[in-house]
Amino acid sequence: MSRILVFQHVAAEPLGTLDPLIRRRGHRVKFVNFERQPEAKPRLDRYKGLIVLGGPMNVEDRAQRAHLQTEIDVIGEAVAQGKPVLGICLGAQLLAHVLGGEVRRHRVSEIGWYDLATTDAGRGDPVFAPLGEASPIFQWHGYTFDLPAGATHLARTATCENQAFRHGTNAYGFQFHLEMDKPLIERWLNLPSYRDELIAAGLGRDAETIRADTFARIDAMQGKAHEVFNNFLDLIGTPARRRKLATT
């Protein structure tokens, strides 16, 4: 049975629309929820791939949150072993840190909907290409990262240069939240801590503005998200049992 290891930091930031795509392929998912199990010491050897989700903490919080160093160590193992890795938001920042990129507070937070512009490399990337030249993308972050040495720059926005990168052939970092759907966005908008962050960011938009933008843009993002995620899952492969069923 093919198994994927998933690092989750808070209940409010799950796999989202990526979850059913993984299960439809016949993979088993092992969640390590560091909010509930901060002392967990997951081992990578039983897993075919690693997905690291977002969260409200930051790479610089390692002294207060020892699990971040645990994650950094496992991400480093996955990269060294050539196993597929996908980092989303905080996960992308952790991956960038592992690869030597600086992670720091950005000059402006990005919360809500933004136009993502792909690079030439992004448009030709085997995972990222379905996003085309430009795509609407949902964001929620106040930190950014420098592009790690040797990494391929895949996308930017007008307010944040480094939105996505690939390292080697199997490791991807996405600063944005391609996994979102309407209920999950609504959940974030109703959480007091997230709502306070939106207000403090001073972006000139409120929850109602984001709701209206979501209604107008979510379908376009989700269609492309499914293609991107399926391309990433192709790197992990199809479980042997599922392959056998497909040929009988």
Strands 103-118 and 85-88, sheet pairing: unpaired
User: What is residue 199's three-state secondary structure?
Assistant: helix
For 223, counting Cβ atoms within 10 Å of its Cβ (0-12 exposed, 13-18 middle, 19+ buried), the class is: exposed
Tokens of 75: 């991400």
Catalytic residue among 9, 141, 167, 177: 177
Task: Reply yes or no on whether 160 is catalytic.
Answer: no
Task: Reply yes or no on whether 133 is catalytic.
Answer: no
Task: Reply yes or no on whether 179 is catalytic.
Answer: yes
From the list 63, 12, 3, the residue with the least C-alpha distance to 33 is: 12
Catalytic residue among 9, 67, 89, 97: 89
Catalytic residue among 13, 71, 110, 179: 179
From the list 164, 173, 177, 136, the residue with the least C-alpha distance to 13 is: 177
**Which residues are catalytically annotated?**
89, 177, 179
